[in-house]
Amino acid sequence: MVRSAIKLFLLLLFLGYMMLWFMMPTKLYFEHWLPKIRANSKSTYFGQQGSTMLIYTFPILFIATLGCIYLHLGKKHGDHNVEGRVPTSKLKQPVMVKGPLGIVSWMELSFLTMFVVLLAWSTTTYLNGMFTHIDQMASRSGLLVWEAKLEMSGLTLGLVGNICLAFLFFPVTRGSSVLRLIGLSSEASIKYHIWVGHIAMTIFTAHGLCYLVFWAKTEQLSQVLKWGKIEVSNMAGEIGLVCGLGMWATSLPQIRRKMFELFYYTHHLYILFIVFFVFHVGFSYACIMLPGFYLFLIDRYLRFLQSQQRVSLVAARILPCQTVELNFCKSPEVNHSPRSIIFVNVPAISKLQWHPFTITSNSNMDTDKLSMVVKSEGRWSSDLYQKLSSPLPMDGFQVSIEGPYGPPASTHLLRHDILVLLSGGSGITPFISIIRELLFKASSGSSTRIPHILLICAFKKSIDLAMLELILPVSGTTVDISCLQLQIEAYVTREKGADEDNHKPLQTVWFKPNAIDAPVSAILGPNSWLCLGLIISSSFVMFLLLIAILSRYHNSNMVYASSATAGFYMLFMCLAIAMTANATFLWNKKQNRKRLRQFRNMDTPPVWFNNGDRELESLQYQSLLQATNVHYGERPDLKKILFERKESSVGVIASGPREMRQEVAAICSSGLADNLQFESISFTW
């Protein structure tokens, strides 16, 4: 009942917040609501930004804090949502498959349409209000009517662009309670960040061009270099726009896919973009976009703290197909759902590069282990494979980790009669954790019926078939894969038959535990949601106190320029977040110190690797062979495979190359088979 009450309250608060965005461009808001709010919230301690923070910043931070409590209660009571056979909503089915937006479901298209309607409504309402007395304004200013309209159009574009900026950072906040409340994960929301980013930069570019043309036509080009002490700082806006254009240009697919490092490093210009945006509009107006960026800063700093700890890489399994499986020790408190990812940094290869990989282990089956698979397909992954497969002895291997991050605990895997898993190449890695999760449920004696699993995987060469061995539970586990209804159809597309030379055993490389290494642990401990809520609320309170102190000193002693005040406020925000996050992190680290000492005193390898390499004649391996059919020299006929499924509910999950996922989405959205429920794993590594 408590969670239901919290959920209802959060829903009402969110609807009220969204209504505010629709009312913001209207005269009713500017002439009646806003003056009353400012009059009632007027304070000598918070100044003009007090009312703005109350209207725009406080509601979202309150939702995020209360959402943390809601999620903690769900975790405490083991709420994993309903796992019954409830049909998936048709709104989640793809409606657009090919095009610049990628694979888009009906629900995503609906929300995108509502967002575009919000932007269109705001634009037309602002322009209607500004153009009402444009003739009188033009005559008073000595401008032509079209020049006055151009200036007002530029202002309108700036106001509408701020709406995009307010929503831009929510999808990239990996540990966000706001995303989890609506059932999203950051990796699945990246495309929303891309959509909003493109719209924002289009609007901001048009905003800048309008003013440049206006200044040129009215002989006011000196305004380009204006940095007002109180008014809008034009030069700050131009610097921010240049930074945004740099990020925008390098994020185009043609550049991002070929020169990812250029895209990655250039995207750090977001810091300068936000700083100069605040200098441009002033901190009071910047509070409109503050809540999303505030939550992102907290998440980013927590990830920074986690990345400073070296984790224990216990062993690596080298596959003959230029693939390596990394195995880390982890704390039992770290639970991750299937298809979760981690970000990995190997300083021996690059101190700056962080790469995301899918977790292949299962937190129920492997309580003290976390595994990931890296396919040698790029320079970084090739260097990693070469170092690990080197015949030279290695005493240790320094690795840092961020995460894990993933979808909510309920992945709705049990809602279907059959799961059809379609993968291409290394796209099989997310399915390893899914199969292990279902294997655990099947072997635990659960009364819930486990769906039949059909794994369709395509590889270029027969040597890549070795990746199927990673499906098997590791040595030391007692579960039997034969208790799972698993059928594997493997396709080798570029070879006509089996190559006996490719049947090489797996090689295991061991690493001696280092004194400074630690198991993979949750950055905020087992009560991470409560700790996150504490950081959000306490840091915001500290931020307000610092603002109050500065505002009081400002009123009684001296006058700061607008940019200097904005600089102080941004510094205070960073200090408040850093102090509260560090305090919570150190407290959690102290709680884990005893367990950490036990880990560091471990002299023998974990039980899950004591048996060395898996014997090819084992029962597990034989069960896998019996479940696998290999097809050489052909590609899977996806239409035939999917349309011949006669079960009432068929869950289809595609992972791998974009073209393959689009083909599967087109088949499922064709309307020829109503029993197909499609889901795409957009990012696999």
Amino acid at 592: N
Q: What is the pLDDT of residues 66-102, one digit of tens each?
A: 999 998 888 766 554 434 444 455 777 788 887 788 8
Q: What is the pLDDT of residues 560-616, one digit of tens each?
A: 567 888 899 999 999 999 999 999 988 887 777 665 565 555 444 454 444 444 444
**CA-wise closest residue to 500 among 464, 469, 463:** 463
Q: What is the pLDDT of residues 203-242, one digit of tens each?
A: 999 999 999 999 999 988 888 888 877 778 899 999 999 9
**CA-wise closest residue to 620 among 525, 479, 511, 518:** 479
Amino acid at 311: V
379: which 2 tokens?
A: 């320079």
Contact 221, 213 (CB under 8 A): no
Contacts 24+ apart (CB under 8 A), 628-631: 628/468, 628/488, 628/490, 629/487, 629/488, 629/489, 629/490, 630/462, 630/465, 630/490, 630/491, 630/492, 630/498, 631/489, 631/490, 631/491, 631/492
Q: What is the mean pLDDT of residues 15-20?
A: 91
Q: What is the mean pLDDT of residues 400-426?
A: 80
Instruction: Tell me 169's DSSP state.
Output: S
For the chain, what is the mean pLDDT? Answer: 83
Q: Give the architecture (CATH level 2) of 309-520+637-680.
A: 3-Layer(aba) Sandwich (3.40)
Domains in the chain: boundaries? 74-219, 309-520+637-680
- Which residue is associated with the tokens 């809008």? 232
d(CA 407, CA 340): 7
pLDDT of residue 554: 61
- Judged against a pLDDT cut of 50, whether residue 622 lies above it is answered with yes
- Least confident range from 130-139, 149-158, 407-416: namely 407-416
Q: What is the pLDDT of residues 274-312, one digit of tens each?
A: 999 999 998 888 888 999 999 999 999 999 998 888 887
Q: How confident is the model at residue 411 (pLDDT cuts 50, 70, 90)?
A: low
Q: What is the mean pLDDT of residues 100-126?
A: 90
